[in-house]
Each structure stands twice: as structure tokens, then as C-alpha cells.
Amino acid sequence: MLYHHVDVNTPAITSISPDQFDKHLAIIEKEGFRVLSLDTLIDNALNGDADVKEVAITFDDAYISIYREAFPRLKAKGWPFTIFVSPALVGTGNPFYLDWQQLKEMADHGVAIENHTMNHPHLVRRLSGESEEIWRNRVTREITDASDALTEAGFSPTRFAYPYGEYDLALTEIIRSLGLQGFGQQSGAIGPMSNPALLPRYPLAGVYVGESAFRDKLRSLALPIKHPDIDPLVSENLKPALLLDFVNPNVNTSRLTCYGPGGVMQISEEARGRVSITPASELPIGRSRYNCTLPKGNRYHWFSQLWMRKKTDGSWYQEP
């Protein structure tokens, strides 16, 4: 699970109200889920038993409402959580961000403090005229500088969250080579076939915080497919087909449902256990996703694929 602000006065697109956050915590309890540290959850999920009721809670960006609203609630329940921090934003006196003292206090209560780059840039955006090698050095430094700053502050970061959830294959390779686990903002549950450099999380903010949708996400299981290695940046083909290769070729995919730009996606069976999904409309400028679910009892297998499209003049889109 991924949260940013727990606040009614911050941008809706990255916020959940304290009341709604309480409802999520109540659902976790009512459904009988165990809240684990990210560490334990990832170990279990990558190795393991997909039917277990386990969840981890994460926050990106180190906003002050984590300390004011989320921490007291989670501490009272004894539930661990993780904060992905960009050190350059911490302790600057900016009242919207946590300071180092607050991070230390939470860490003393079992909160994990992890890497979200030094300055929170759009890592996949090459500067004009920048070679791949210079880009690789620049983004590597963004990541290692953050690890160094967090280590110096007394934390032990081993995990990384991609700013804006944006990645490409060159970047996931850098994360892997640095020995970090990587977390995106694409929906889905983690399973043995997940890529440890590109683990999914459910972003819970804006219109995506409702109770029944949260319950479905909480109960979700990894879609049992071989992880597709795809560069999400599109330029020529604006309706890219995505191949899903199921681990078990005899799986019944007739109840697989996928949504993408333009709504329900077309699914065609290419071979046994292999389907191709195609969107109804072209990908919009900015970030978009394909989301696929396959029911299993009262739960869903879930997989999401990120796409990014630049503006028609070739420049990058702005954040809303």
C-alpha cells in the first residue's frame, strides 16, 4: 500500500483524509490481515505462499502529516511501516516536510526509513545532449547520495522507491546493480514472479481511497505471469499490445479483465497460457496504466503496467 499525505488540506491527487485512513486501518483489522514490515513482507511474498493475509504500509516523500496523523495511529496498533525519503527535502525548515528528529523518533518505534533519491527528480528524463553513460552516472549519484545521507543520519536503507513511479529498463538495471529493491507506483500484489527491482504498490489517494476498492486491493494476489520486461516510454505505437505469459499454460483466462485508455481492453489468446491485450484508445500524454484482474474466489489476481508518453512536440509532460 502506498500513501503520501494523510491530510485534508493537501492536493487531493496525493492525499487521503485522516477519517478515510482510519477506515482503511479498520478494514485491515476486520479482514484479519497482518501488517508486516516491508522487509518481512517482501521476503514472504517473493518466496511464497500467495494466499496468506499479509500487507505492508508505505509512504513516499516524508510529508509532515505522516508524523501528525499516520504515526500515532499506526504506533497505537503496533504496526510497522516504511517511509521513502528524499533527504534534500528533509530538515530544510519547509513546514510541509518532516525533519530528521521526527524521522529518528519514528525509526525508534520500528519505522523503516528508505531511499527516494536525493532531490526527487524525474530520473528517466535524459537532459538534452546527455549520453547514456553521463545519464547513468547522474542518476546513480542521485541514488547513492540519498543512501549516504540516510546512512549518515543513522538509518540503513536497502530499498528504493521510484519518484513519480517512473522507470525504464536501464533504470531498473541500475537499481538491481546497486543491490536495492525497487518499488513503483503501479498497482498489484507481489508474488514469486515479481521483479525485485520493480515491485508494485497500490497508490491510495484522490478518488482511489473508497472502502470496497481498498478491500479488493488488500485481498489481491499477484497475477501468475512471467514478469514482462517492458520500457514504458512510447513514441511510435500509441496503442501498444502487452503480452501476458502465464506461468501455468493451462490457466483459464476467460475471466481475465483488463482496463486501459478508453476502457475495457481487447484480449486475444496468442497461444496456450499467453494472451495479448490491446487498449481501445491511444495512450494519453503523461502517465497511464493497463490494469488486469483475474478473479480467484473472493479475491483477485492483479497486474498493472505503466506507460509514459511525451507531448507531441517531443517535450516532457508536466506534473499536474
Interacting residue ranges for Zn ion, rule: CB under 5 A:
60-61, 163
C-beta of 84 vs 300, nearer to Zn ion: 84
Least distance to Zn ion from the beta carbon of 137, Å? 22
Nearer to Zn ion, 147 or 293 (CB): 147
Q: Which three cell numbers stand for residue 52?
A: 496468506
Nearest distance from residue 14's CB to Zn ion, in Å? Answer: 8
Rounded to a whole number of angstroms, the minimum distance from the CB of residue 61 to Zn ion is 4
| Residue pair 190/199 in contact by the 8 Å Cβ criterion | yes
In the bound complex, which residue of the shown chain has the CB atom lying closest to Zn ion?
A: 60
Shortest Cβ 296–Zn ion spacing (Å): 32
Q: Which is nearer to Zn ion, 313 or 319 (CB)?
A: 319
Q: Which is nearer to Zn ion, 92 or 281 (CB)?
A: 92
Cell numbers representing residue 43 in the block: 521476503
Instruction: Choose between 225 and 306: whose C-beta lies nearer to Zn ion.
Output: 306
Q: How far apart are CA 15 and CA 9, in angstroms?
A: 9
Burial 290-314 (b: 16+ CB within 10 A, else e): bbbbbeeeebbbbbbbbbbbeeeee
Q: What minimum distance in Å lies between the beta carbon of 7 and Zn ion?
A: 15
Nearest to Zn ion of 119, 151 (CB atom): 119
Shortest distance, CB of residue 125 to Zn ion, whole angstroms?
15
